[in-house]
Structure 1
Amino acid sequence: MRYLCSSILMLLLISCASYPKKNGFTVREVRNIENLYFSDTSKDYVYKANIEAFGNSFGGIFIIKKLGDEHHRIAFTTELGNKIFDFSFQGEDFKVNHILKDMDKKILINVLKNDFQVLVAQNPFIEKSFQKDDDFIQQASLHHKTYYYFLTEEKLKKVVRVGNGKEKVVFLFSEINDNIAQQIRISHQNFKLNIALKAL
């Protein structure tokens, strides 16, 4: 009985451990980072996209445009130019300019809003800094959720949203060239929503 109680207690302690502790991060001096992937107002960031959401699959063109300081517009269209959705982000304000009827569900809109706010956040407020091997990891809080930004050789490679010590959403950036991530993947761990972007 004592062994069973000890085992349960140990399991609870391990499962409740913080994300940095579980992953063997070493604490470092806090330093700020800048996400430059969607920071140039002179560029249109255009991607071929595939969004899998709750059993439906949508393919098309994904466009991000920085319009000003903390101001982005994100649109997703079919390859023929018909709008699937069109969102505006300005500071803390969010506006749905258009969304396809099949996708006009509050839960989906909120999830896409949170994902895209993280995607375009240029200067997340860093609370703690860590290191593991060659990765510098910055802990930030965005909209009351905890995110970890993973940088290798000063390049942002991954962002992870964590809840209760577990990964909830993973953003992967690859084939980085001239402050543009040629490929981006957003994967939700707790339900079926995946977004794959490939630069055009």
Structure 2
Amino acid sequence: MIRFLAISLFIVLVTAGCSLKTTEGLREVTVAQPTISNPYFSNAEVDYVYKAKIALYDKNFGGILIIKKTGSDSHRVVFTTEFGSKLFDFYFEGENFQKNFIIPEMDKKLVVKTLEQDFRLLISEKIQVLEEFDSEAQNIYKTDIGKNFGFYFFEKDSRRLRKIVKASKRKEKVTIDFKIVEENIAQSITLQHENFKLRIELEKFKKE
């Protein structure tokens, strides 16, 4: 009997440890649409220009981040100082990634790979849905991101994308919050890692 109780308790603890906070309290529903869209960097006629702060380990970088859609499935992402000196310059085309330039302080294999994955998550437009969840105010779509999953949170009323969470089966890894949206452009974006010292804050650059 004691052995049975111990095994049962172990199973409960393991199951609890494997659950994601992201899906707590959500109700799984039938998938209503096979794909979803992230519209925020999808217009090739718009230069998406942001004041940016990047906190990486114990260093802080500030400047201007420009995201430009250059083709049907391609984007260029450039981060410069306010005086125009490049900090990094990336090019995405489909599954391909090209590092055009990056400063030595950031030019570490893990850092470059992490930035690649973060910006790919930010700019990916059409995403295949695996599962769908429902809450009182939001529809949440689970998607496949290689060895991880993406959870896309859309407001029911406005149908605006408000949050993306990248997670493994057991824990959240990255959260992207779209705090303000005007004319289908995200005005304020925060990207926060859970177990890696990287935070990106973006505020839409407004011409005075």
Give the TM-score range, shorter chain. over 0.9
TM-score using structure 2 length: 0.90
Counterparts of 1:22 and 1:73, CA distance in 2: 36
- Deviation at 1:149? 0.3
Aligned residue number for residue 127 of structure 2? 124
The aligned residue for residue 191 of structure 2 is 186
Return the alpha-carbon distance in structure 1 between the equivalents of residues 175 and 71 of structure 2: 27
Deviation, 1:4, is 4.4
Equivalent of 1:198 in 192, 200, 203: 203
Which residue matches 1:41?
44
* Equivalence for 1:172: 177
Residue type matched to 1:74 in 2? V
Encode CA deviations 1:30-67: one digit per residue, 9 max, x unaligned: 41221110011111000000000111110000000001
User: 1:18 Cα shift?
Assistant: 5.8
Report how many residues are paired.
Answer: 200
Q: For residues 83-94 of structure 1, what are the structure 2 equivalents within 5 Å?
A: 83-94=86-97
What letter is aligned with 1:198? Answer: E
SS of structure 2 residue aligned to 1:102: coil
The answer (yes or no) to whether the contact 1:30–1:127 under 8 Å persists in 2 is no
Q: Are 2:63 and 1:73 equivalent residues in the alignment?
A: no
TM-align CA RMSD: 1.6
Output aligned runs, 1:1-200, within 5 Å: 1-2=2-3, 3-17=5-19, 22-31=24-33, 32-152=35-155, 153-200=158-205
- Alignment gaps of 5+ in structure 2: none
Instruction: Work out the CA distance in 1 between the residues paired with 2:115 and 2:176.
Output: 13
Distance, in Å, in 1 between the alignment partners of 2:58 and 2:161 is 30
8 Å contact kept, 1:173–1:183: yes
Distance 2:74 2:172 in 1: 28
Mapped to 2, the partners of 1:138 and 1:187 lie a distance apart of 20
Matched AA of 1:179 = N
Structure 1 stretches lacking a partner, 5+ long: none
SS at match of 2:180: strand
Distance 1:196 1:63 in 2: 13
Out of 175-184 and 11-20, give the one that drifted further: 11-20
Residue type at the aligned position of 2:165: V
Q: Is the 8 A contact 1:28 1:131 kept in 2?
A: no
What percentage of aligned pairs have identical amino acids?
38
TM-score (normalizing by structure 1): 0.94
Counterpart residue type for residue 18 of structure 2: C
Q: Quick one: which amino acid aligns to residue 190 of structure 1?
A: N
